A and B are shown apart, each in its own frame.
Chain A
Amino acid sequence: MVALVAFGLALLANQLSPRGIALTRDYFPAGGVTTVRAPDQATAATSPAATTGDALVPGLELDGVKIADAKSAVQFFNDARRETGLIIFVDARADQSYAEGHIPGAWQLDRFYPEKYLPELLPACAVAETVVVYCSGGECEDSVFATRLLLGAGVAADRLRVFMGGLKEWIALGQPVESGARNSGEIKGGKP
């Protein structure tokens, strides 16, 4: 009885919470592309999973997405086209991590809540020639899953780059980091 009542209350709490999890969504698609019908439609559908872990990256490459190393990421950041939105960075981490520090000007895409971020992000992706997606680096897989999400939302694979080294490598290279909101101007680090 206790279990039933607690389970019922838990389902209700998850439904009401703005951070609630969509029960039917596959948040860890391995083989397939997560498709989102439209930016203003919350429902996402996923094809069956096939593999997990590091095998995700070759899977992305097969889809036509390129992997960017730290040197390329820095070049993209310093490219003048970034100023006009032709090159954009996408941070695939959660709110708190993003606010603590992100690549200056990076858009946010917390892949667990795409409905919140895609409506603003997709128009920017439509303009951009290059979209560089990253997360923490190391064992972080969020950039790969976020890239799949963007592929499913219609962003062309040849525009997408995954910066696997992520923020860890970025900071290790002494590159600037922006805290707070996007374009907050609160920038730390970076070579003079």
Chain B
Amino acid sequence: MNPDPESRGPGRLVRSAGHLARLVLAALFLYTGAVKALHPADFLKLLHEYHLTSQPLLLNLVAATLPWVEVCCGGLLLVGRAVRGTALLLLIQLIVFTGAIIARAMSIHAGGELPFCAIRFDCGCGTGEVNVCRKILENGILILCAAWLLAIRSDKRNLRSDQAASA
């Protein structure tokens, strides 16, 4: 019999959901990060289409580092290290890029006759051309996963990792 009350009932459910969210984010960011890291020039071209900045250095820096940051975050989540710090980083990234996707889709929508949810483009997310509404929904789920990981109380191992990382 396990003496820890959190190993049963709602506590166990919360932890299981946390593990699931962690593994989903890990798998996704490992995959999409690797795809982009293998073809950084393609990612740079797609990133350029967002017109986020006119500074080549900044654009190149984002294109060169973001895929590897994603791979790094995916790896950390997979092994369960520095989970909350990684979740915070991914949460910020997801919010920024979801905003950029919405802005770009609205710009396309304003310039043509396409219904918003009929718009498709390669968002540079590592999964090729996507339907914009579906992508926003997917990102919403990922944002919830990252927020969940950030919000739930870490288990002891992750807490130690976070403490070591912030030391």
Contact = CB atoms under 8 A, between A and B. Distances in A.
A94 B60 contact: no
Chain B at the A interface: SS class: helix
The residue in A9, A23, A112, A113 that gathers the most chain B C-beta atoms within 10 A of its C-beta is A23
A45 to B, nearest CB: 11
B85 A2 contact: yes
Given A2-B89, A6-B73, A24-B56, A94 B41 contact: yes
B166 A14 contact: no
Interface string A1-33: 111011101110110010111111111100000
A7 B66 CA distance: 8
Contacts, number: 83
Interface residues of A, number: 28
Chain A at the B interface: SS class: loop
Nearest to B167: A1
Interface residues of B, number: 30
B17 interface: no
Interface string A151-181: 0000000000000000000000000000000
Contact of A28 (B56, B65, B89): B56
B142 interface: no
B63 interface: yes
Interface stretch (B3-11, B32-40, B104-112, B152-160): B32-40
A94 B38 CA distance: 12
B41 A19 contact: yes
B68 A22 contact: no
A44 B159 CA distance: 47
A155 to B, nearest CB: 22
Given A21-B63, A25-B56, A28-B48, A10 B39 contact: no
B61 interface: yes
Contacts of B66: 10
A35 B165 CA distance: 44
Contact of B61 (A23, A27, A112, A113): A23
Given A2-B85, A2-B86, A14-B64, A21 B44 contact: yes
A174 B54 CA distance: 40
Given A2-B89, A9-B68, A21-B64, A14 B40 contact: yes
A49 B59 CA distance: 14
Contacts of A3: 69, 85, 89
A1 B166 contact: yes
Top 5 A-B pairs, shortest CB-CB distance:
A10-B68, A10-B65, A2-B85, A112-B41, A26-B56
Interface of A: 1-3, 5-7, 9-11, 13-14, 17, 19-28, 46, 49, 94, 110, 112-113
